[in-house]
């Protein structure tokens, strides 16, 4: 079966990417300008060329699924130029993130026409999901924890987005971001997200449970000496 991409790392640090790949169950990478800048060496100035080169490093080290990267400017024309440079890093894997606003809708449309996979990010409403569908975006990226904490937020946002996409038989997929806890990981998937993107610390908790550790200890106590191995 193909490698699954339901779990993705959200980071711009090369050490996090390498650790996530070593876990074996992480299927992709998302980053953004803040995370990418944070992942640079402390003495490295965040120039455009250096940031794009850093994304290339991250992509080369990342798990084998999609890599989501975002331009480093809020100016649409310049963002489109940066998006094309980012997309050229790994054309078969790179997904260009664009903030879900009117000025970036046209950028998404032009990139789509030229064969780039795009995602609208910072999504909070069903209307934005519908726009992503109309634009032919491969993904939408809702901010789960941020929505839950907002005064006007809702804890069923992912379910609302999934319903509107299903209503138009859309191929646009949902990757839930701003996911901070194990409960938010599970709830996002139960509510219809196709994937979740989370920090390394949350990913490292997913395959652990105190009772599993207790079982491992019990096996150690039951087997005299090292565990029985091959007789060859």
Structure confidence by residue, pLDDT tens digits, 122-165: 999 999 999 999 999 999 999 999 998 885 556 789 999 999 99
Which one, of 63, 73, 4, lies nearest residue 32 by Cα? 73
How many whole angstroms separate alpha carbon 102 and alpha carbon 107? Answer: 9
Can you give the residue ranges of every domain in the chain?
7-222
Superfamily of domain 7-222: Aldolase class I (3.20.20.70)
**Packing angle, helices 48-61 and 76-87, rounded to 10:** 40
Please give the model's pTM, rounded to 2 decimal places: 0.91
For 15-28, the pLDDT digits (tens) are 999 999 999 999 99
Beta partners for residue 9, in sequence order:
29, 198
Q: Above pLDDT 70, what percent of the chain?
A: 93
Q: Quickly count helices (H) and strands (E) in the chain.
A: 11, 8
Beta partners for residue 198, in sequence order:
9
Q: Which residue has the tokens 């519908």?
A: 130
- Here the tokens at position 111 are 């990139």
How many whole angstroms separate alpha carbon 196 and alpha carbon 157? Answer: 14
| pLDDT computed for residue 179 by the predictor | 94
For 55-103, the pLDDT digits (tens) are 999 999 999 999 999 999 999 999 999 999 999 999 999 999 999 999 9
């Amino acid at each position: 079966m193909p490698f699954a991409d339901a779990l993705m790392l959200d980071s711009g640090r090369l050490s996090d990417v390498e650790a996530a790949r070593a876990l074996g169950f992480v299927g992709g990478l998302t980053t953004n300008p803040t995370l990418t800048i944070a992942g640079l060496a402390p003495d490295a100035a965040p120039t455009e060329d250096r940031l794009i080169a850093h994304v290339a490093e991250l992509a080369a080290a990342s798990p084998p699924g999609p890599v989501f990267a975002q331009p480093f400017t809020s100016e649409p024309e310049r963002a489109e130029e940066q998006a094309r440079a980012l997309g050229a890093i790994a054309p078969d894997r790179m997904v260009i993130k664009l903030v879900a606003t009117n000025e970036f809708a046209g950028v998404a449309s032009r990139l789509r026409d030229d064969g780039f996979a795009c995602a609208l990010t910072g999504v909070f409403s069903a209307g934005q999901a519908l726009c992503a569908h109309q634009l032919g975006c491969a993904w939408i990226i809702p901010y789960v924890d941020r929505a839950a904490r907002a005064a006007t937020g809702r804890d069923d946002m992912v379910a609302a987005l999934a319903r509107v996409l299903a209503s138009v038989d859309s191929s646009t997929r949902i990757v839930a971001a701003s996911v901070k806890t194990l409960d938010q990981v599970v709830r996002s998937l139960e509510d219809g997200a196709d994937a979740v993107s989370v920090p390394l610390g949350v990913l490292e908790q997913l395959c652990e449970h105190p009772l599993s550790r207790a079982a491992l200890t019990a096996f150690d106590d039951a087997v005299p000496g090292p565990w029985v191995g091959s007789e060859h």
